[in-house]
Amino acid sequence: MDLAVGDGKIDMKRDWNWPIWVGSIITVGGLFSYEFFAQFPMTRDFPWANLLLFAAGGFFQAAA
């Protein structure tokens, strides 16, 4: 940093860390989507669609 060139301010671009946010949204969606998936007989007996959403959300959060 050269104080003679500027006013001492360091320009830094902040990264939005999107995998954590997307993973959180998918995980919360998996938590509250059972009522939607319970309409169908294939997903009513075993909540595999919700577990798949939890796995996808965990993948995004672990990738960050």
Answer yes or no: is 25 within a domain: yes
As a whole number of angstroms, the distance between CA 14 and CA 17 comes to 9
Q: How far apart are CA 38 and CA 57, in angstroms?
A: 20
pLDDT in tens, 6-29: 566 666 777 788 999 999 999 999
Helices (H) and strands (E) in the chain, counts: 4, 0
Residue 23's domain spans which residues? 18-63
Give tens-digit pLDDT for 35-54: 999 999 998 999 999 999 99
Q: How many structural domains does the chain have?
A: 1
